[in-house]
Amino acid sequence: MPDGKSILMYNSWALSKSAFVKGEQCVKYLYLDKYKKQEKTPFSKETLELFDKGHSFEDMVRDNGFPGGVNVKDVAGNFGFFNSYTQYLLQQPGRQVVYEATIIEDDVLIMCDILVKNDNGQVDIFEIKLNSSLNEAIQNDLSVQYLIAKKRFGDQLSTFNVILRSDDEGQAWTVSNLKNELEPNSIETDKKINLFKNVLADGEPEIAMGDHCNKPYTCMFIDYCQKRGIQN
Ligand code: SF4
């Protein structure tokens, strides 16, 4: 199989999954993260350590449960090429295991931790979370992933799974197919996607600070908003 680099095409997008998750927390967070990155407070040492743990867990799941996959990030280099390289890999005959499989539909970019295209063309997607249980933030994250994957694959999408850390002895992770649970969120998620695209096309929203600044995540623009003094 050629490495596919010669067919890479640059694709752009308006919204990413991580931008969607920020918009769920606060539309101003979404806006600032796109247009005022220089105002961000850097991640704390603790947060960076947590990211490292998450990446180690992902690697462990991939190596032990889904070995031999192609990592789109390692080959395609630039985000703009990830979608076309993923398409190239999925056009190859036989079973394909793809890490960081990237999909752009409706101007929304998502990256799937593991995507398996089976011999019969059916697709299984696996999102890996270091958490041992689902929470609202993870469900929002999974809802947009599922919707965009469904738009790309339609009936070819066989399962959409979350892999969570397991604290049980002898079992490092659990796998749950959430396709049926996530399907009812699709209409609402679609509406939010349109709302967030409109936010990004408008000026900076005026949002007062409040509990949402630390829930579910600590916003990286707290210093910026405090300096500007819009408080509840
Ligand atoms: S600090 Fe609070 S109000 Fe300001 S962008 Fe972040 S979440 Fe929104």
pLDDT at 45 over 80: yes
pLDDT at 75 over 90: no
Average predicted confidence (pLDDT) for the chain: 94
Compute how many other C-beta atoms are within 10 angstroms of the C-beta atom of residue 171: 9
- What range does the domain containing 175 cover? 5-228
Contact 85 CB / ligand 1 (< 6 Å): no
Name the pTM for this structure.
Answer: 0.92
**Is 142 within 8 Å of 150 (Cβ atoms)?**
no
Of residues 58 and 76, more confidently modeled = 58
pLDDT reported for residue 220: 97
Going by pLDDT thresholds of 50, 70 and 90, the confidence category of residue 4 is low
Least confident of 6-20, 50-64, 106-120: 6-20
How many domains are contained in the chain?
Answer: 1
**Is 58 within 8 Å of 73 (Cβ atoms)?**
no
Contact 219 CB / ligand 1 (< 6 Å): yes
Compute how many other C-beta atoms are within 10 angstroms of the C-beta atom of residue 115: 26
pLDDT reported for residue 136: 86
pLDDT at 205 over 70: yes
How far apart CA 150 and CA 56 sit, in angstroms, is 28
Atom of ligand 1 nearest to the CA of 219: 6
- The CATH number for 17's domain is 3.90.320
Atom of ligand 1 nearest to the CA of 230: 3
Place of tokens 């596919």: 4
**Is 25 within 8 Å of 197 (Cβ atoms)?**
no
The dihedral sign for the CA sequence 95, 163, 79, 147: positive
